[in-house]
């Protein structure tokens, strides 16, 4: 297993080479240590989401939800880029990334909840159900991360990334690509595919973290590994939320 290969750009060969040759006096990365960092980031996300959720649900401050979505979304994107390019600072930037993503998720979740009551809780439960189900399948060997499996997920993820980018550019010029995020049959199929690909990325992230720990990467990589998995988990939640909204809108 080559831990330098992953569909998640956070886990690139260049990043791995940088960490592999760095010096550390604080020990090596462990799976448990990474799990602890993931738990901390999840707590930060929940706290941030609770704040903007409260703002959105309060009639006096509900008008600010758009601002919080922009602040959280842009801030999270910037922090993700900083963390990816300055991985040695992940112990600082990863928690801040979680703050911004929490603000974003709380605000956008409140919007969906306003349209479809009960949808957010279903999305949260389904997201964690998918994560733990895939973790179980991975740990029991039902899903094996082979080179072909990895290459397939990489190709699918890159294809989705290109589709996101093209859709964003077209929207800037007033071209509405409705089939990408619409509520029709095609939109539902595309959303299902994206959810599946996001879920499979979790398997690669599990494998990467485990192999990274087994390879004795520096302990500072625990924050970086937690950050990479959180990026995938947040992506999965957003896509599940969108998919459930499509189903709810068809009822």
What's the confidence (pLDDT) of residue 231?
95
Going from N- to C-terminal start, the domains of the chain cover 9-250
Residue 9 has pLDDT above 60, yes or no: no
Region 98-124 average pLDDT: 96
Residue 4 has pLDDT above 80, yes or no: no
Neighbours of 26 (CB within 10 A): 7
What's the confidence (pLDDT) of residue 8?
53
Question: Torsion-angle region of residue 216: left (phi > 0), alpha (psi -120 to 50) or beta?
Answer: left
Region 61-84 average pLDDT: 94
> Which residues on neighbouring strands pair with residue 218, listed in sequence order?
28
Highest mean pLDDT among 16-20, 92-96, 183-187: 92-96
CA dist., res. 185 & res. 22, Å (int):
50
Contact assessment for residue 210 and residue 31, using Cβ atoms and an 8 Å cutoff: yes
Which tokens is 107 given?
Answer: 């605000």
- Least confident segment among 16-30, 58-72, 234-248: 16-30
Residue 131 has pLDDT above 70, yes or no: yes
Confidence tier at 1 by pLDDT (50, 70, 90): very low
End-to-end CA distance of the chain: 46
Contact assessment for residue 170 and residue 161, using Cβ atoms and an 8 Å cutoff: no
What's the whole-model pTM score? 0.86
CA dist., res. 111 & res. 241, Å (int):
11
Q: What angle do CA 19, 20, 25 make, to 5 degrees?
A: 75
What's the confidence (pLDDT) of residue 25?
46
Region 39-49 average pLDDT: 97
């Amino acid at each position: 297993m080559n831990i330098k290969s992953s569909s998640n750009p956070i886990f690139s060969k260049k990043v791995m080479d940088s960490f592999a040759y760095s010096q550390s006096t604080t020990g090596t990365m462990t799976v448990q240590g990474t799990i602890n960092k993931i738990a901390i980031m999840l707590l930060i996300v929940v706290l941030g989401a609770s704040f903007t959720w409260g703002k959105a649900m309060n009639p006096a401050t509900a008008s600010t939800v758009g601002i919080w979505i922009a602040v959280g979304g842009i801030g999270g994107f910037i922090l993700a880029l900083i963390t990816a390019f300055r991985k040695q600072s992940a112990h600082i930037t990863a928690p801040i990334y979680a703050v911004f993503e929490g603000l974003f998720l709380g605000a956008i979740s409140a919007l969906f909840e306003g349209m479809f009551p009960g949808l957010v809780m279903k999305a949260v439960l389904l997201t964690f159900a998918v994560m733990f189900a895939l973790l179980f399948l991975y740990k029991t060997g039902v899903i094996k991360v082979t080179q072909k499996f990895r290459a397939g997920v990489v190709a699918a993820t890159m294809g989705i990334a290109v589709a996101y980018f093209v859709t964003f550019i077209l929207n800037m010029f007033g071209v509405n690509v409705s089939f990408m995020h619409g509520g029709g049959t095609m939109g539902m199929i595309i959303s299902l595919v994206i959810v599946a690909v996001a879920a499979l990325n979790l398997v690669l992230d599990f494998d990467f973290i485990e192999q990274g720990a087994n390879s004795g990467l520096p302990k500072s990589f625990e924050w970086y590994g937690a950050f990479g998995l959180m990026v995938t988990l947040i992506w999965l939640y957003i896509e599940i939320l969108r998919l459930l909204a499509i189903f709810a809108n068809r009822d």
